[in-house]
A and B are shown apart, each in its own frame.
Chain A
Amino acid sequence: MFKKKRGREGAEIPSSSLADIAFLLLVFFLVVTTIDVDTGIGLVLPPPPDPEQPPPEVRERNMLKILMNAQGGILINEERANLRDVQERVIRFVTNRGVDPNLSDSPQQAVVSIKTDRQTEYERYIEMLDEVRGAYRIIWDQEARSRGFRDYAHYRTVEGEPNPVRREFPMNISLAEPDPGS
């Protein structure tokens, strides 16, 4: 019979390096982690057109037509305009409440329509969309202030109830299909 040569060594796994191993793993995950949330402009597309049902009629005065061509030129209701003017025009249009006969009847009925050419650059289009959204943001801020809040970001509604500011001033942006262009 072979004789056992040595006495058994301690059967424990040395755990002093455990913290180091965990540290290395931690550093690895720290480096690879990107906690980036996607930001952007969210919207809801209309459902596909139903050939049986014609699109809803919108009165001429309740529609602010913004056109952008391939060169970045802007027409608002067939008039030349600058990107800088858009915000002010949208605010005037939405908050008109039937005063000016050429502008909207009420904020609920007001629709801002943005139409581009197929060749219009995406960047220009996002700039325009951003301006229009900025206009609505100013309107909402004003409305929130009149309800005693600092601005719209601080505006709080009761959980589960529709937001009265948004109901009063719904952001109706219609994104028309682009023209084929030249």
Chain B
Amino acid sequence: MSHFKKKQASTSQEIPTTSMPDIIFILLIFFMVVTVLREVELLVRQDLTRAENIERIEEKRLVSYIYVGPLILPGGQYGDTRIQVDDALVDPNDLTAIQNVMRQRRTDEPRLIVSLRVDYESEMGIVSDIKQQLRFADALRINYSTRRAEGAVEM
């Protein structure tokens, strides 16, 4: 009886690992570039509504956010509906601050999109007031921010 000789590949069985740090570095740089750390601290609740027929905003740099929702109070309580732009709350009796801020941004970036992130419990009155301010600021491209509902399609 003759034995079959175990065939052994003549090539090395080890995976070369010298390039691993380079690969990791490339991944690292990718994630460093795409990471957007949260720029603002939310002072109002953001429980967005869902919608089915939505659009996606690809160009994030064009977007400015206006946050609307009940004021977060200490102890898990919620106050009146307030408007937040960047890190500050807007005085509810003087919404022209929105107009001034957005006009400036519109001058800097003519393709500005203002995204309204409105909590579902807000009333239309406040949303309409903001829209009026935006019209006067000539920031006409807006977006009602919604989450995607079950079976949502992009238009």
Partners in one complex: yes
Q: Which residues of A contact B (CB under 8 A)?
A: 18-19, 22-23, 25-26, 29-30, 32-35, 37-48, 116-123, 125-127, 129-130, 133-134, 136-137, 152-153, 175, 177-178
A153-B154 Cα distance, complex, nearest whole Å: 8
Complex contact A130–B51 (CB within 8 A): yes
Nearest 4 Cβ contacts at the A-B interface: A118-B125, A29-B31, A133-B53, A123-B120
Complex contact B57–A25 (CB within 8 A): no
Complex contact B57–A40 (CB within 8 A): yes
* Residue total for B at the interface (Cβ-Cβ under 8 A): 53
Complex contact B28–A44 (CB within 8 A): no
Q: Is B58 an interface residue (CB 8 A)?
A: yes
Contacting chain A: which of B3-11, B90-98, B129-137? B129-137
A41-B120 Cα distance, complex, nearest whole Å: 14
CB-nearest residue of chain B relative to A30? Answer: B31
A-facing residues in B122-155 (Cβ within 8 Å): 122-125, 127-128, 131-132, 134-136, 138, 140-148, 153-155
CB-nearest residue of chain B relative to A70? Answer: B123
With A39-B54, A43-B142, A123-B120 as known contacts, state yes or no: A177 contacts B20, CB within 8 Å.
Answer: no
Which has the most chain B C-beta neighbours within 10 Å: A30, A33, A41, A125? A41
Residues of A contacting B57 with CB < 8 Å? 37-40, 42
Q: Is B34 an interface residue (CB 8 A)?
A: yes
Complex contact B27–A122 (CB within 8 A): no
Contact of B24 among A22, A34, A47, A121 (CB under 8 A): A22
CB-nearest residue of chain A relative to B17? Answer: A19
A23-B32 Cα distance, complex, nearest whole Å: 13
A108-B66 Cα distance, complex, nearest whole Å: 33
Closest chain A CB from B95 CB (angstroms): 14
With A23-B24, A33-B31, A153-B153 as known contacts, state yes or no: A122 contacts B123, CB within 8 Å.
Answer: yes
In the assembled complex, 27 residue pairs joining A and B whose CB atoms fall closer than 8 Å, in A order, are A22-B28, A26-B27, A29-B28, A29-B35, A38-B56, A39-B57, A39-B146, A40-B54, A40-B55, A41-B53, A42-B113, A42-B144, A45-B142, A47-B140, A48-B135, A48-B136, A48-B138, A119-B124, A121-B124, A125-B124, A125-B127, A133-B53, A134-B53, A137-B153, A153-B153, A178-B124, A178-B128
Contact of A42 among B20, B21, B34, B141 (CB under 8 A): B141
Residues of B contacting A18 with CB < 8 Å? 21
A37-B143 Cα distance, complex, nearest whole Å: 13
A149-B143 Cα distance, complex, nearest whole Å: 29
A119-B81 Cα distance, complex, nearest whole Å: 12
With A22-B25, A46-B135, A122-B119 as known contacts, state yes or no: A39 contacts B56, CB within 8 Å.
Answer: yes
Q: Is B89 an interface residue (CB 8 A)?
A: no
Contact of B21 among A19, A43, A118, A119 (CB under 8 A): A19
With A22-B21, A153-B153 as known contacts, state yes or no: A40 contacts B123, CB within 8 Å.
Answer: no
Residues of B contacting A129 with CB < 8 Å? 51, 144
Complex contact B24–A39 (CB within 8 A): no
Closest chain A CB from B73 CB (angstroms): 21
